[in-house]
Amino acid sequence: MATANKNLSNYDKSTLPKAKDFRFGVVVSEWNDTITEGLYKGAYDAFLDNEVQDSNIIRWNVPGSFELIYGAKKMLQTQNVDAVIVIGCVIQGETKHFDFVCEGVTQGIKDLNVQTDVPVIFCVLTDNTMQQSIDRSGGIHGNKGTEAAIAAIKMAFIRQQASLTHTYDSQKALSSGQLQIEDLPLKIGE
Ligand SMILES: Nc1c(NC[C@H](O)[C@H](O)[C@H](O)CO)[nH]c(=O)[nH]c1=O
Ligand SMILES: CC(=O)[C@@H](O)COP(=O)(O)O
């Protein structure tokens, strides 16, 4: 559904997982900073509205959207976070640079979601005009930053549940005798 048909920034807190104990990283591009600051405010306000503690929101800035990839990689490698949001705003200029930046960031963030265990939420506007960016960072079409924070809360919960499920299954199988210790994958140094 196109954003123009529905403001996706409205959410019902009662339907969301409890986020009080989650820690979130947010990597923010400085390109088009009037837009990225609006996106960040949307995300930050949504986190606080869902009882995320200010001290559990870690913000780093990077020069442009292409650097969001490296920034997110170092964030999840060095910080104990349950999810990361990358915030950027790429606006079409005169050349094909827009295409390469957008594709590069998209693929890079996708790779991080495949290769690492921490969800990285894609909050990068790829707009034709500044007005489209204004409309989606707290304007008539809502705030993609708000949507990203809600997605981050949901994905952090999924990650938490998945780890519990994995641990529970193996312990349950072991205690019930269905599974012998030698059947478990050999883990060195854990
Ligand atoms: N034109 C935009 C850029 N371009 C800069 C790149 O993201 C990158 O920082 C540069 O190529 C150096 O690696 N970045 C945006 O975030 N938004 C733009 O509209
Ligand atoms: C996405 C960009 O890098 C772009 O805004 C730069 O503008 P131009 O294509 O006119 O050099």
Question: Consecutive 10-residue runs of the chain (190 residues): their mean pLDDT?
Answer: 65 94 98 98 98 98 98 98 98 98 98 98 98 97 97 97 74 70 56
Identify the pLDDT of residue 1. 47
Tokens 């960040």, located at residue: 40
Question: Does 95 contact ligand 2 (Cβ within 6 A)?
Answer: yes
Gap from CA of 27 to ligand 2 centroid (Å): 21
Residue 90 annotated as part of some ligand binding site: yes
Question: Does 177 contact ligand 2 (Cβ within 6 A)?
Answer: no
Q: Alpha-carbon distance 100 to 25, whole Å?
A: 25
Taking alpha carbons only, the member of 140, 44, 145, 47 closest to residue 89 is 145
The CATH superfamily holding the domain 21-183 is Lumazine/riboflavin synthase (3.40.50.960)
Query: Hey, what are 12's tokens?
Result: 């019902």
Positions marked active-site: 97
Identify the pLDDT of residue 178. 66
- What does the CA dihedral 134, 138, 140, 143 come to, rounded to 10 degrees? 100
Residues within 6 Å of ligand 1 by CB: 29, 31-32, 63-67, 88-91, 101
Identify the pLDDT of residue 172. 74
Residue to mutate (ligand 2; options 30, 95, 133; most atoms within 8 A of CB): 95
DSSP letter at 32 equals T
Question: Does 91 contact ligand 2 (Cβ within 6 A)?
Answer: yes
Taking alpha carbons only, the member of 118, 143, 160 closest to residue 18 is 160
Taking alpha carbons only, the member of 52, 26, 50, 30 closest to residue 40 is 26
Beta pairing class for 120-127 and 83-91? parallel
- What does the CA dihedral 148, 151, 152, 154 come to, rounded to 10 degrees? 160
Identify the pLDDT of residue 167. 57
pTM: 0.87
- Give Cα 101 distance to the centre of its chain: 19
Domain ranges of the chain: 21-183
Instruction: Determine the atom of ligand 2 nearest the C-alpha atom of 65.
Output: 1
29 in Cβ contact with 87 (< 8 Å): yes
